[in-house]
A and B are shown apart, each in its own frame.
Chain A
Amino acid sequence: MQASVHPQHLASRPERQGKEVVLSSIQKSYGTAVALPDLSLVVARGEFCTLLGASGSGKTTLLKIIAGFEAPDAGSVSIAGKDVTRTSIADRNIGMVFQNYALFPHMSVFDNVSFALRMRRLNRDDIKRRVNEALALVSMEQLRERLPRELSGGQQQRVALARALVFRPDILLMDEPLGALDKNLRQAIQLQLKKLHHDLGLTVIFVTHDQDEAMNLSDRIVIVDQGRIIQAGAPEALYRAPQSAFVAGFLGECNFIEQAPGQVLGIRPESVRVGTQLSAADMHHEGRVVTSTFCGLHWKIFIEALGRTIVAYAPAGTDGADRTPGQSVAWGFRSEDAMAFSAP
């Protein structure tokens, strides 16, 4: 099951295949419902860019507009400097991996992957060579005669990827492609996807609602809510310096403590210090341990304080007294670890 990229492709990194994508002032409404009020975004050449948002946030609409399945009401889409807003799907040269893979159920793996090449009327030898290359890229050469229903979910995923890559697209679009897979498989494919992205220099636009997936894969995460970009940046930057309580709560866990009216402090669980870890300079609070769970790397302690439940990650060696349910416990944080937000 563990799939690895063929070694020969690791050696040399070819010139970047990907192209730049520019979205300017995209607007889209369905009847009276406004999906995208006014959105602009630049995805750089070779970038792995993830659109992260809850369902209904507009991220899938945006993807459909980039792919050309839907036309924007206003605004433009350009790929490599060329305006493609009115260009048909087929002529945009975009590879797409669908949420449910959308493999043609009546065609073998080979026929699925060769579809785009047949549409481009390549000769038979070229088709064979390119399909084999694409299948080798995802380690699926052995199963080329199978029908999609004879494949496992992870194998179907890889065929869908090969099908989207075989015709050398300018951009690869992926719509929640890992949603249907179990956790272990998902991690294996994430790794493979990252490698492929690195080796081929693709521009990837990836849609997901799973923040871990976004963190694992992306060069840049774009957080979308109600059709607007809330914040965009590298995973680490977003995690360490979220501009709003929404982003802090959406990407990773965060405790919110109300300060003055209209002001909240956000503290990451790993910044919360419990009992003996507290030093004199820290902000101090009192609370009661509700329960605690051992997570391997750390203890996760739930503390009732300030009318809410505070989550703290305490070191694995934390003293028993600081994590026994029912115990009163002192907790706090360094003031520089607290992030100040205006209340949502």
Chain B
Amino acid sequence: MTDNALPRPSHAAGQTQWNRNRMALLAALPLLLFLLLFFVGPIGGLLKEGFYRDGTLSLEHFRHLAVTPIYRIVLGNTFTIAAAVTLSCVLMSYPLAYLLATVRPAVARVLFFAVLLPFWSSALVRTSAWIALLGKNGPVNALLTGIGIIDQPMAFLYNFTGVMIGMTHVLMPFVVLPLYASFRAMDNALVQAAQSLGADSAGILRHVVLPLTSPGVVAGAIIVFMNAVGYYITPALMGGPAQRMAAELISYNITEELNWGLAAALAGVLLVTVLLSLWLFNRLFGLDKLISGSAGKGSNTLPAGRTPGGRLSVLAGAVSALFLVLPILIVIPMSFGTSDFPMFPPPHYGLRWYASFFADSKWLAALWSSLRVGLMVTLCASVLGTAAALGVHKMPSARKGWLDALFIIPMSVPAIITAVALFYLMAPLGWVANSVAVTIGHTVLASPYVYITVRAALRSFDPSLELAALSLGASWPSMFRLVILPLLLPSLIGGAVFAFVTSFDDVVMALFLTTIHNRTLPKLMYEGLANDFDPTVISASCLLIVATAVILVANLLLGRKKES
């Protein structure tokens, strides 16, 4: 090291602080504008309808909701069902989360797959699997009558039981995952300590496990309640007239009654409930919790031996896991049946319903439409979400809270409200017929996922790496290209996959924002289930399950490669 002169870095002087702040705002601006234009604005417009009657300001629609028996019953139903589903999710999640957190890693991986596969596969796929399973001639009734527990087939569907089974299945992972994190963060030595101090199983549960895991369970419960209140598909398909929920009534008022005012008032009630839940979540845990994914890990020593209560929990956990994965496992052989309605086990195996999927142009057209919309949404959501995450990350902290909230809310607001609001705005423009509407709607729904994953990655990003690169002579663009982007890539891919799956699985938006000509696969499946049962839905579901499993495994492998 003798010669002294080295060339200086070959670029113009760097940016000033002021310039950087402006860049941050500029990066967050596209998503901000997009959401103002296609989320806040339309929903505001819709809600306004609730306060007008015949052109004058009035609370008539809300009074109508309060005094008409049918509306009172439906609103009562909505909250009762949401609360009941929340409770059953919590009860079933506890043993499963315990099981996940205390088994050997290899077993835990298999169990995780059992939780994540239903979590990632479309709600519609799961609902159709349950309908096939629980029908009068379905395998569950066949089993029960076969072994003589009951004489007559039991009615599981189109009643409260059906709604509970379907919704618990769909929403349970939202409790299992945070609860699992709580269990992992809990030091196993605490249980041993409690045992050594003379606590029995019930004592350990009451004094050690419940207090330490309650934050996880409350967080999960709020998310489940928030989702359940606005649920549309599952109650509509698996419940009867007595289980109608608010979302279904919104749809009914718009498509059948053309009563926008009443629909808007109902949407207002739902929206307030959801925002209150979100506010509560923020007060208790901070929206940060939604952004920063996994919790810290305590000691990972496996328990030396299980208490009797622990063994009972393991059994209950296994039952919960089975409940989650069974419909998906049973529906696959059913799809290879050849009879006119699905049976398990099928008397004859064949490809009849796959043939009908690939032979009928309407199914292929719907698949193509879904793929096209999904890819477009992935692209838009990734660009908007990533830019916004970068922008907010760089902003002075005062503005961050508001933008974080605004960018996260769209995924918490029931899809039916956003769908109806966008329909109201775009149907007159003709955007429903050309897929622009559904692409925009899905982007509203999917951008938060990209935003959250990238934002979480940026938070764990060490800011001194950026300073190091700049001090070594990198310009801002080359620093971004050589340092930030490569380190962000795994999360970006994860967010994009989320965005694609969100779009590909959605039914509610598609119901309102597409026509018979550009309908997506889930919409066609919904029609196949809602009108009269077309077994092609089952084969379509299986194709989606396989696609989901492939994406999930690929993502897991990618994640593991990153870790090693």
Contacts and interface: CB of A to CB of B under 8 A. Distances in A.
User: Which among A15, A90, A93 has the greatest number of chain B C-beta atoms within 10 A?
Assistant: A90
Interface string B1-20: 11010111111011111000
Contacts of A88: 13-15, 470
Contacts of A95: 471
A163 B464 CA distance: 14
Contacts of A120: 6-10, 473
Interface size class of A (residues with CB under 8 A): 35 or more
A165 B15 CA distance: 25
Nearest to A9: B1
B17 to A, nearest CB: 7
B427 interface: no
Contacts of B4: 15, 17, 168
B300 interface: no
B9 A91 contact: yes
A136 B394 CA distance: 38
A65 to B, nearest CB: 13
Contacts, number: 100
Interface stretch (A38-46, A98-106, A214-222, A235-243): A98-106
Nearest to B13: A88
Interface in B291-334: none
A69 interface: yes
A310 interface: no
Contacts of A165: 1
Contacts of B356: none
A71 B17 contact: yes
Contact of B473 (A67, A105, A133, A167): A167
Given A17-B4, A120-B8, A90 B467 contact: no
Interface in B54-84: none
Interface string A88-128: 11111111101110111110000000011001111000000
A115 B482 CA distance: 10
Given A120-B8, A134-B1, A168-B6, A98 B473 contact: no
B470 A104 contact: no
Contacts of B473: 90, 116, 119-120, 167
A56 interface: no
Nearest to B5: A168
B472 A100 contact: no
A106 B471 contact: no
A91 B472 CA distance: 9
A104 B469 contact: yes
A312 interface: no
B470 A90 contact: yes
A90 B11 contact: yes
Given A100-B464, A120-B9, A90 B1 contact: no
Interface residues of B, number: 31
Interface in B494-548: none
Interface string A294-334: 00000000000000000000000000000000000000000
Given A120-B9, A122-B7, A133 B487 contact: no
B464 A90 contact: no
B471 A137 contact: no
A91 B467 contact: no
A96 B468 contact: yes
A90 B475 contact: yes
Contact of A99 (B464, B470, B486): B464
Contacts of A71: 16-17
A87 interface: yes
Nearest to B463: A102
Contacts of B470: 69, 88-90
A93 B7 contact: no
A89 B471 contact: yes
A313 B482 CA distance: 56
Contacts of A93: 8
A104 B9 CA distance: 19
B557 interface: no
A98 B2 contact: no
Given A14-B2, A137-B1, A102 B464 contact: yes
A163 B469 CA distance: 11
A229 interface: no
B527 to A, nearest CB: 48
B8 A104 contact: no
A265 interface: no
A200 interface: yes
Contacts of B284: none
A87 B487 contact: no
A71 B119 CA distance: 49
A96 B469 CA distance: 10
A106 B471 CA distance: 18
B12 to A, nearest CB: 9
B190 interface: no
A116 B473 CA distance: 6
Contact of A163 (B472, B478, B487): B472
Contacts of B202: none
A137 B1 CA distance: 9
Contact of B474 (A102, A119, A133): A119
A119 B9 contact: yes
A121 B10 contact: yes
Contacts of B483: 104
B337 to A, nearest CB: 50
B465 interface: yes
Contacts of A69: 467, 470-471
A102 B465 CA distance: 5
B457 to A, nearest CB: 13
Contacts of A115: 469, 472, 474, 482
Nearest to A199: B1
B462 interface: yes
Contacts of A163: 468, 472
Q: Which of B16, B467, B471, B472 has the most CB of A within 10 A?
A: B472
A106 B1 CA distance: 27
Contacts of A9: 1
A120 B8 CA distance: 6
Give the one of A96, A119, A133, A163 with max B CB within 10 A. Answer: A119
Interface string A117-156: 0011110000000100110010000000000000000000
Contacts of B15: 88
Interface string B476-492: 00100011001100000
B479 to A, nearest CB: 9
A119 B464 contact: no
A235 to B, nearest CB: 28
Given A102-B467, A120-B473, A90 B14 contact: yes
A123 to B, nearest CB: 11
B558 to A, nearest CB: 15
A205 B6 CA distance: 22
Given A90-B11, A93-B8, A100 B462 contact: yes
Q: Which of B6, B9, B11, B471 has the most CB of A within 10 A?
A: B471
A89 to B, nearest CB: 5
Interface in B1-43: 1-2, 4, 6-11, 13-17
A137 B482 CA distance: 26
A104 B2 contact: no
Across the A-B interface, give the 5 residue pairs with the lowest CB-CB distance, nearest first.
Answer: A88-B14, A116-B472, A119-B473, A102-B464, A102-B468
15 contacts: A14-B2, A69-B471, A89-B14, A91-B9, A91-B13, A91-B14, A92-B471, A93-B8, A115-B469, A115-B482, A116-B472, A119-B10, A120-B10, A122-B7, A168-B4
Given A92-B471, A115-B474, 4 more contacts: A88-B470, A90-B471, A96-B467, A119-B9
